[in-house]
Amino acid sequence: MILLNPQLQAFLAVVKAKTVHGAAAAIYITQTAVTQRIRGLEERLATTLFIRTRRGMQLTSEGEALLRYCHAVQELEGQALASISGAGKNSTIQVSVTGPSSIMHSRIIPQYMKVMAKFPNLLLRFDVNDIENRLKSLRSGECEFAIIQQEDLMPEIQYKLLQPENYVLVCCKAWAKRSLKEIIREERIIDYDPSDQMTFNYLKHYKLYELARHDRHFVNRTDSLASMLLQGCGYSLLTTEFSQTYVNRGELIVLNAGKIYENKMALTWYERPEPPEYFKALIDSVD
């Protein structure tokens, strides 16, 4: 049972393969046929879906919107097959969610595991991602749900505000006798990547930004970041939940008198006119 017409099947094949040649091989038709189907689809929609680049066929913003539509149709197809006696016993529904490591480990994955138990045919892909490209992943159709900063919300996106995460400034225990201003003035920040502004936001909030060095170390895994902190490579911002274990063991200390910074997050998705039951369950399960 395939709900997508041949033009949309060709469109998805080009998205996946990045070339007309690869798409043709994947769906067993000629390159000319793929080109004709894409051209016909663009004429029907009165828009351009792809641009040719050195990296292959890249989606336009209109193409990204169509890709989200195709993914929604595929979800509906999986749900329909799963509901048909016999034919749907082995059918599966795939959903991807991307979010930062702290909230994914503490809330999203534990709650979604309960939803998985309720929907045996639901396959979830958890993309633990501390780099600020999650909104792009949602817009391009790479995921159905994304956890993003509240200030990054856009009008066309549906969202649910989540309970904020509390962050504290931390460093190694060897610096316990040093003053806060000395550490900020002399030591480097450790962050996830150049797009990560969390520590800078904290410093600005508490009027410490002008004292700080702005050349930073980067490591895109929380456990590796913690290891660098333990070795005295710099200071950073961690969630109170993640840092507490290290603080209790006396390996890290909390700076700035334990003052917290609230990171306001939102669960985001694109609207479904008639969202399936599992989709609503995933939204309702987290707070």
| % pLDDT > 90, the chain | 58
In the numeric block, which tokens belong to residue 222?
A: 């929380």
Listed by start position, the domains of the chain span 92-163+264-287, 165-261
Picking from 47, 64, 196, the residue whose alpha carbon sits closest to that of residue 133 is 196
Q: Does residue 272 contact residue 233 with C-beta atoms inside 8 Å?
A: no
Residue type, 243: S
**Helix spans in 28-90 (H):** 31-45, 61-83
Distance of CA 228 to the CA centre of its chain: 24
- Burial class for 270, CB neighbours closer than 10 Å (0-12, 13-18, 19+): middle
For the segment 260-267, the average pLDDT, to the nearest whole number, is 94
Picking from 175, 184, 170, 192, the residue whose alpha carbon sits closest to that of residue 241 is 170
Integer Cα distance of 60 and 210 in angstroms: 40
**Helix spans in 206-261 (H):** 222-230, 240-248
Is it true that domain 165-261 has CATH number 3.40.190.290?
Answer: yes
Task: Tell me which of 3.40.190.10, 3.30.379.10, 3.40.50.20, 3.10.25.10 is the CATH number of domain 92-163+264-287.
Answer: 3.40.190.10
Q: Is 224 helix (H, G, I), strand (E, B) or coil?
A: helix
Integer Cα distance of 235 and 232 in angstroms: 8
Q: Is the pLDDT of residue 151 over 90?
A: no
For the segment 207-234, the average pLDDT, to the nearest whole number, is 95
Integer Cα distance of 39 and 134 in angstroms: 31
**For the ranges 172-176, 194-198, 207-211, 282-286, which has the lowest average pLDDT?**
194-198
- Banded model confidence at residue 139, pLDDT cuts 50, 70, 90: confident
pLDDT given at position 162: 96
Integer Cα distance of 86 and 20 in angstroms: 37
Residue 256, phi-psi category: left (phi > 0), alpha (psi -120 to 50), beta (remainder): left
Residue 113 belongs to what H/E stretch?
helix 109-118
Average pLDDT, the chain: 89
Cβ contacts of 287 within 8 Å, gap of 6 or more? 107, 162, 163
Q: Is the pLDDT of residue 160 over 90?
A: yes
Integer Cα distance of 55 and 155 in angstroms: 31
Integer Cα distance of 45 and 232 in angstroms: 57
What is each CA distance from 80 to 68, 83, 118, in whole angstroms?
Answer: 18, 5, 17
Domain 92-163+264-287 and domain 165-261 have a common topology: yes
Q: Does residue 269 contact residue 145 with C-beta atoms inside 8 Å?
A: yes
For the segment 85-89, the average pLDDT, to the nearest whole number, is 42
pLDDT given at position 1: 45
The C-alpha torsion from 221 through 227 and 232 to 238, rounded to 10°, is 50
Q: Is the pLDDT of residue 141 over 80?
A: no
Cβ contacts of 233 within 8 Å, gap of 6 or more? 188, 190, 217
